[in-house]
Structure 1
Amino acid sequence: MRCCSKLCSGRLRCNGAPSCCAGKAISIASMTWRLGMVRPDPSDRSQWSVVIPVLQEAQQLPSLLAQLQGPEEVWVVDGGSRDGSGQIARSMGAHWLRSAASRGVQLRLGAAQATRPWLLFLHADARLPSHWSSALARVLHDPAVAAAAFRLRVNGRGWKLRLLEQLVDWRCRCRGLPYGDQGLAMAADVYQRSGGYQPIPLMEDLELVQRLHRHGRVVQAPAAVQVSARRWQRLGVWRSSWRNAQLRRAWRQGVPIDQLAGRY
């Protein structure tokens, strides 16, 4: 994610410094992928584009971007932050884009600009394992696998959070249904064939995962991503989980997304 001082020819003119020039950033392996040959090795971090949607994430974003100072390409898609999130992203070498404040819109925009053969979508409060690309490679090398997510670890104490982690693990192993806070990784061509993220404000992760199942298995990588406990602290673990379950049920029953977003 290191930046060069000159704007590379043909690259998007976003409000942030581009990553190193295209001729250097995209390896021979990437070029063979673009020509329809074998996908590059997903353990090679230079083959990854990381997309991070943000809204008022100045406190969380620096720690995540500090983990992404290698050869990967990073896109931070800002839904209208006023807390300096954009300045932080640019100062730490990420591409930065403005967007409507809708996670589905933000993720879709970031993916549309990504240039690498592997895509990783992360929330700003995620903290990656040090060997994240190798962990993903262990499962993504399997041609039967369409996408992968990390195991969930919540940064907080208490048996309720530990039980929550176990329930998430069960849901992913038995039903193949990771959520966006676990990170979602896949080959760019699989993303394109699936139709990608839809421009919706809620349920964008489940909606995509359901379509990914048509292209292969959705599995967990043998490593965990750590996330903030903030979303469970506001309402409590059980109330938050119950509310989310009710929203998912209503969505599956056909309640319009805009109506659900008003309840969220």
Structure 2
Amino acid sequence: MQELYTLLLNTIKNISIWSVLDILVVSFIFYKGYLLIKETRAEQLLKGIVLIVLLIPISSILKLDMLNFILNKTLTIGVLSVIIIFQPEIRRALEHLGRSAFEDIHNGQNVEKRSETVNEIVMAVSCLAESKTGALIAIEQGTGIGEVFASGTIIDAKLSSNLLENIFVVNTPLHDGATIIKKNRIYAAGCVLPLTVNNLTNKKLGTRHRAAIGLSENSDALIIVVSEETGVISLAVNGRLTRNYDKEKLKTILLKIMENRDSKRVKTAGEKVKTWIKGMKKD
């Protein structure tokens, strides 16, 4: 016990401020990584990997040579498999890290313009829901979705509820696909979105809903879906689909999400600017 106490005391004495900083940084990275995969298929796969890692030393201690051999080989091959399987989550994380603070400020909107944009979208969605006209509308946020634009037709027109409704009229050239809202304008229509590969998704959901979830898994876009069968309005954000929105509820949640994201962008940019100013003063 005395030796353990002495060892612990010496360890504490040898801890420097850099060691503490190192631990905090690593903890923060693990925490952010967990939030990124929380409640996704990646979380279930991670649990399986942790189980394999725990079984390897146990099988070695119990002299289960065959099991130990299989687990080691599985873990070796699994590294490449994890990169392939976690591709959407890894891509989302790298896009988040690569997005600069000044670009985020540029993408931010003032309250009046944001409210006007949401009003036009909600009015169109409400009318489409009443007439049970199927629709798929993606609102670009901080992450660019240029690869989606290439699959459709560029319109780059002023956003209006009438034009948005007209695009989704059945049997018109651009109704069967997603319409993209970019910087308060109807930028493209008839776009093809990536379908989700999440096996946990409700099997009763149609192609529009699966496409909405798929894009939300790969970007921070807000995707609105109107069911042509029931007229139910749904919203996909960060890989999650919530349903049964009415006009006021949809407007409230869209404004809240956009406001929160703009606030985070400005806050992040402000913190970076302060850091740069401090560095300049030191120089």
TM-score (norm. length: structure 2): 0.24
Bigger strand fraction: 1
TM-score (norm. length: structure 1): 0.25
Bigger helix fraction: 2
